[in-house]
Amino acid sequence: MEIPLRKAKVSREGEFVVVDAKGVHYRELNEVINELVEKGERKLRLINVNGQRYIADGLRCDCYIEIHGVAGDDLAAFANGPTVVVFGDVQDGAGNTMNAGRIIVHGHGTDIIGHSMRGGKIFVRGHVGYRVGIHMKEYREQVPVLVIGGTAGDFLGEYMAGGRIVVLGLERLETYPEIAGEWLATGIHGGAIYLRDEVDEDRLGYGAKVEKLTHDDRRFLEAEVGEFCSIFSLNPEEVLNAEFTKVVPKSHRPFADMYSDAKEG
């Protein structure tokens, strides 16, 4: 098969097509990725990635993409199916409005990871920044899952409308040892957040409350945290053997009483 040669060097290594992203503009890099996927390639390895944006953006396929380096903003935004494994960190908006697929990050993530995602899974081994999981949603059988190995910054799960976020807090920041930042789950009206720590209810934002874990919650955590541990070579028993706090919405209609027409009946 003919592999298109642009500035991005493309070669083959076993079952992988290897794309060298060194010094390549994102637009060209993504064009190469799209062409390869369109030609039926299903295993891509991108090397020397250094902040290129939009990798796997809007991609509809069941392909597997390995990224070596730092993935730039909006990794797999609007994606519909691909598995993206990052051996490095990801920048803002990884999984933004993703519909289906998986993102596995061996390093850290910055802000708005999983913003508005509707389906698929994101596993981040390290810490994540601000506004992560904002407005995550779910739709029928699509229930997105976001698992964070480290800690999360402020506004985690704000306006959350569905899906599940798990924060394990396996490592803590010296400067801010809390498992999640301020304004946790403000305006949440769907979904749930599980934090592997005790969390005072007074730290929650408007519309959120703490609820006891049920048997189903435990089973969910065993499955997802188990998968997380197997990916990142952790002992699942050790990780799961801890207190979890579950944060849920007080109501699916947080603004029901805000307007005069509702009160007039």
Which residues of this chain interact with another protein, rule CB under 8 A? 26-27, 30, 34, 53-54, 57-60, 73-74, 77-80, 92-93, 96-97, 99, 112, 115-116, 118, 131, 134-135, 137-139, 142, 155, 158-159, 161-162, 187, 189-190, 252-264
Give me the least distance between CB of 185 and another protein, in Å please. Answer: 13
Decide whether 109 or 169 has the Cβ nearer to another protein. 109
Give me the least distance between CB of 34 and another protein, in Å please. Answer: 7
Task: Tell me if 150 sits within 8 A of 127, measured CB to CB.
Answer: yes
Give me the least distance between CB of 261 and another protein, in Å please. Answer: 5
The residue assigned the tokens 């934090």 is 195
Beta strands at 208-211 and 245-249: parallel, antiparallel or unpaired:
antiparallel
Phi, psi of 205 (to 5 degrees): -80, 180
Decide whether 6 or 27 has the Cβ nearer to another protein. 27
Give me the least distance between CB of 129 and another protein, in Å please. Answer: 12
Decide whether 216 or 261 has the Cβ nearer to another protein. 261
Angle value at C-alpha 118, between 173 and 235, nearest 5 degrees: 45
The H or E element spanning position 30 is helix 26-38
Residue 213 structure tokens: 């874990």
Residue 220 structure tokens: 């969910």
Give me the least distance between CB of 170 and another protein, in Å please. Answer: 26
Decide whether 57 or 224 has the Cβ nearer to another protein. 57
Q: How far is CA 169 from CA 22, 95, 121, 164, 202, in A?
A: 34, 21, 18, 16, 20
- Supply the DSSP string of 179-203, one letter for each residue: SB-SSBTTT--EEEEEESS---GGG
The H or E element spanning position 13 is strand 9-13
Decide whether 45 or 118 has the Cβ nearer to another protein. 118
